[in-house]
Amino acid sequence: MTPVAVLGASRSGTAIVAQALAAALGVPVAFRRELTADTDGILCAPDQRLACPNLHDAAGYLDHLPQAKAVALWRHPIDFVNSRRRAAPDQDFVSHCRLWTNAMAAIGALHARHRERMAVIAYEALLNSRAALGLSLLPLFGETPDFAHKFCDYLAGHQPGRTVLRLGKPVTALKDVGWSDAERAVFEGICGETLRRIGLAAHLAGPKPPIRLDTGRSLPEMARARGGLAIAPPVRRGAPCALIRADHEALDPPCLWLPAVATGGRRRFGLSLSNQAGQLTELYLEVAETLSCRLLHVQNIVLEPWSHMVLESILPPSETLIDVILTITSPENPVAFRIALDEIVFRQAPAGAENGF
């Protein structure tokens, strides 16, 4: 009996394919959390963890069992993340996006090494191209067309996912999911490169363009002003942006807001503050996770008249998007206030830095 491992990120159709293969081949199916070599027939081992250990271990599994085969499934990322959010609402949005990206990278590496002994199936083919999918699996398993008929019959006799039942098709467009702007930014920042590589870049477009997470982008371009402050655009790239008090009747306290700043790895971010007024200026700095709003860092800052201060490494270690908010809390707000926003990507971590910061 030829062992067959059915792999992929959880919510990619691994269970239904494992059952359809078992029905077509007339062999048992086992569902496991980990990929093991002690199971005959069909072994379904979807990945729940971000590191995708089963997909990564599959190369060793196929090396150890020369007669074994593998079937890997992937799902359109918008449909995948949407399904994962519904199935695992306690997990953060970032983890769903990262799981898809990690799974795609692992499937690509496995296919490059064992392409003759595996098949890669798109979840959408289970719904729209069952007959062609069944025939495409014949060379891998060395079976007759009767195998394809049994495989397709099993798929046709089982209900599709809830999304397909409700909409009649998988969700593959941002306009259909109702994600927030911050979630769109997370999705494109994590999944966008892979989407472009596999030719699905058009699916990134939605009714509201997402914030592009481009590490080469000038941070002042991301800034938003509140409470009567106006942002004077920098004269040249990398130059400071000036905050000017424009409306003395504003109800909200004047502040500079940097939404959805990408963090992680060796990226360092800093603020260069200049008080261009003749009075003491008090500021309040907040750093919070964009999606959860959980505070990561707060700091009170006092600037003497005509003074300058540089805040380096203000971002705590984090692998998600964060918001940086700088609020002017002085009773008498300055007429002119200049802030330089600096982002540095280190090739090597500075001496004494922890977690790349």
Q: Render pLDDT for 181-234 as a digit per residue (tens, 0 to 9).
A: 777 878 888 888 898 888 887 666 544 433 333 333 455 566 777 776 766 665
Could you give the CA distance from residue 111 to residue 70 in angstroms, rounded to a whole number?
A: 10
Query: In this predicted structure, which of 46-55, 107-116, 333-342 has the lowest mean pLDDT?
Result: 333-342
For the CA atoms of 82, 85, 87, 92, the dihedral, rounded to the nearest 10 degrees, stands at 150
Least confident range of 119-128, 141-150, 256-265, 285-294: 256-265
- The tokens of 219 are what? 């941070």
pLDDT for 312 equals: 66
Q: Record the tokens describing residue 171, joined without a space.
A: 């969700």
Alpha-carbon span 14 to 44, nearest angstrom: 7
Pairing label, strands 224-226, 308-311: unpaired
pLDDT at 221: 62
- pLDDT at residue 250 in the model: 60
Confidence at residue 346, expressed as pLDDT on a 0 to 100 scale = 39
| Predicted pLDDT of residue 61 | 93
Of the candidate ranges 7-21, 24-38, 248-262, 284-298, the one whose mean pLDDT is the lowest = 248-262
**Domain topology for 219-345:** Jelly Rolls (2.60.120)
Q: Is residue 165 scored above 80 in pLDDT?
A: no
Domain 4-204 maps to which CATH number in 3.20.20.70, 3.40.50.2300, 1.20.1280.290, 3.40.50.300?
A: 3.40.50.300
- What's this model's pTM, rounded to 2 decimal places? 0.59
Structure tokens, 303: 């600037």
Instruction: Point out which residues pair with 300 in neighbouring strands.
Output: 284
Pairing of strands 255-262, 241-245: unpaired
High-pLDDT (> 70) share of the chain, %: 69
* pLDDT score at 45: 94
pLDDT mean over 313-327: 69
Residue 353 has pLDDT above 80, yes or no: no
pLDDT digits (tens, 9 = 90+) for 233-269: 655 555 556 665 555 556 667 777 877 776 655 555 6
Residue 350 pLDDT > 50: no
Retrieve residue 1's tokens.
């009996």
pLDDT in tens, 47-91: 999 999 999 999 999 999 999 999 999 999 999 998 888 787 777
Q: Pick the residue with more confidence: 173 or 210?
A: 173
Q: How far apart are CA 80 and CA 357, in angstroms?
A: 32
pLDDT mean over 310-334 = 69
Please indicate whether the domains covering 4-204 and 219-345 agree at the CATH topology level. Answer: no
The domain ranges of the chain are: 4-204, 219-345
